[in-house]
Each structure stands twice: as structure tokens, then as C-alpha cells.
Amino acid sequence: MARLSWEPFTELWREMENFRRQMDRLFERWGWEGFPMRWPTLTAAYPPINVWEDENNVYAEAELPGMGLEDLEIYVTGRNQLSIKGERKSPQVDKGTWLRQERPFGSFHRIVTLPVDVEADKVEARLENGVLTIVMPKCQEARPRKITVKAG
Amino acid sequence: MANLAKREHRGEITQAEPVRTVTYSPRVDVVETADELTLYADLPGVRPEDVDIRFENGELTIHGKVTPRPTTGEFLLQEYGVGDFYRTFTISEEIDSDKITAELKQGVLILHLPKREAVKPKRITVKTA
């Protein structure tokens, strides 16, 4: 059996592991079974998302390594609700022992409310090297308008 | 809580190597079979040509350089940081370093570390005095 050491974070891991166990116990008591994700989602929404805007677009980015666009459902509803849905599958391992398992797997559904309305039918998404980028053009009304000041 | 959650996404920030920006420790899975150790590492945003893997004296180092992704305008929500990935592992198992293979697909690195032919256990005879 190989021994892998993760110094100096072993201590931190132990702490996080303890916390996870406590959370698991808590959910067990509440009968929250079949929670689709492993511990990272117990404390954080998955996937983490960055959102930014410029004059014309709102951009959203998420890291989804190992996933393809066909594994994802991305849509905008109500003009400002961005929804990302999918399932990250764990690697197929027929034999062997897991020595370490840190990567999260399972189904997820994340909804983010955008501060401005966007053109739902013009939303574009691309996935490159496990990074999802979504470009959402702002509705005309949401774009800054240049106001011409007439000379009196 | 929010702070903890943020850090957990990619594990801890490593301080091992001062690189140009913040460096993150990638999340990994490790599976051991009779023949090899298989390591899966999440390296989102790293192209296959930008990953550097070294194995020396039982120490495995993974360094993934992230292609910069410039953002324009203002952040409305920032739940994670972008930076290179760096992590080292000490592997006590005897690895045949010439046969290590790696592939990087969709931001996931799969590293095959085949074990060296098992050294036959020696029988030690204890002499009686």
C-alpha cells in the first residue's frame, strides 16, 4: 500500500474531515438522504461562479473540469435567471483502492440572479479546458445610454 | 463560513513556490491497483502543453500553468480565484519512472504511475547462537 503524504495540510484536512462528518451526521438526523454531492457542496454552492459585466454583456464563468457541453443544461429564464444544470460523473474504476478522493462528483443545479435583464435567445456558452464561459448580451434597456445634451 | 467555503473549492493556497500570482493546490483523486497508482487532478483552464510533471526521488510535482483569462468590466460575483496549480506528493511506493504516462483532457489530468517490478521478499535466517 502506497503512502502519500500531503504535508503540511494534513492537519487542515483532518479538521475539514471532522467538520464534514459532523455535517453528515446532522443531515442524517434530518433524513436528508441521497444528497447528490460530496462534502464540498455541503458548505459551498457548486460550481462556484464568477460574474462580471461591461457595457454590453454580462459574463459568467465556472470551472467544470472533465465535463462537456453535452453534459450541461444552460438557460436563462425570466430574463435574469441564469441556470446551470449538470452531472459530473466520477471516473470508472473497476478495481483498486481509492487512496484519495477530493474531487466533487454528482448532480448540481445552480441558479444565479443577474442584476440586469439579458437577451435569453442570444446567450452563448463555450467550454474550454474545463472552463465554462457564458456571454449574455444585455437587453437594450439595460445598456447605458448616451444622453446628448442640447445646447440651449 | 463563506470564507471557508471559498477556500475549500480548490483546497489551500500553497506557499511552496512563489510564482507570479496566486497558486492553487489542485483537487486530486488517487486510485491504487496491483500494477499502478492512477492520479486524477482537476486543472481547469490548463492546456496540455502547459502542464509540467516531474518525478524525482519519490517526489511527484505537478505544475499547471493557467492560460490567462482577462475579464473586462466589473465583477458582480467572485466566488473563486484564477491562478496556476501547484502540488507535490511524496510517494513511498516504488514507481517505474520511465513508464509514467499522462494525459490532460477537458481540464482533468490523468497520470499513470506504474509500480516497479516487486522486489522479492528475502528470507532472513536467524542463526542460533
Q: Which pLDDT score, from 0 to 100, does residue A146 have?
A: 74
Per residue in B15-38, pLDDT (tens digit) is 444 445 689 999 999 999 888 999
- Which helix (H) or strand (E) segment holds residue A110: the answer is strand A106-113
Kindly list the residues from chain B whose CB atom is less than 8 angstroms away from the CB atom of residue A96.
31-33, 38
| Whether residue A139 has pLDDT greater than 80 | yes
Average pLDDT over all residues of chain B = 82
| Whether residue B50 has pLDDT greater than 80 | yes
Q: Is A22 exposed, middle or buried (0-12, 13-18, 19+ CB in 10 A)?
A: exposed
| Whether residue A25 has pLDDT greater than 90 | no
Give the C-alpha separation, B34 to B93, whole Å: 11
A133: confidence class by pLDDT, cuts 50, 70, 90:
very high
A34: confidence class by pLDDT, cuts 50, 70, 90:
very low
Where do the structural domains in chain B lie, given as residue ranges?
2-114
What CATH number should be reported for the domain whose range is A43-89+105-142? 2.60.40.790
Q: Which pLDDT score, from 0 to 100, does residue A43 have?
A: 45
Measured in degrees and rounded to the nearest 5, phi and psi for residue A14 equal: -60, -40
A36 compared with A71, residue with greater pLDDT = A71
Whether this model's ipTM surpasses 0.95 comes out as no
Contact B74 A52 (CB under 8 A): yes
| Whether residue B46 has pLDDT greater than 90 | yes
Q: Which pLDDT score, from 0 to 100, does residue A91 have?
A: 83
- Candidates B116, B96, B89, B110; CA nearest to B39 is B110
Q: How far is CA A140 from the centre of its chain?
A: 28
Q: Which pLDDT score, from 0 to 100, does residue B114 have?
A: 92
| Residue A43 touches chain B, beta carbons under 8 Å | yes
Q: Positive or negative CA dihedral for B75, A113, A105, A67?
A: negative
Kindly list the residues from chain A whose CB atom is less than 8 angstroms away from the CB atom of residue B46.
129
| Whether residue A147 has pLDDT greater than 50 | yes
Per residue in A2-18, pLDDT (tens digit) is 444 444 445 665 666 66
Kindly list the residues from chain A whose CB atom is less than 8 angstroms away from the CB atom of residue B90.
4-5, 7
Where do the structural domains in chain A lie, given as residue ranges?
1-35, 43-89+105-142
Question: Is it true that domain B2-114 has CATH number 2.40.128.50?
Answer: no
Q: What amino acid occupies position A110? A: R
Kindly list the residues from chain A whose CB atom is less than 8 angstroms away from the CB atom of residue B33.
95-97
Span A10-38, average pLDDT: 53
* Pick from B28, B90, B107: CB nearest A5: B90
| Residue A99 touches chain B, beta carbons under 8 Å | yes
Contact A129 B25 (CB under 8 A): no
Span B76-102, average pLDDT: 91
Residue of B10, B23, B27 to mutate when probing chain A, most A C-beta within 10 A: B27
Contact A9 B25 (CB under 8 A): yes
What residues does A75 pair with on adjacent strands? A83
Q: Which pLDDT score, from 0 to 100, does residue A3 have?
A: 46
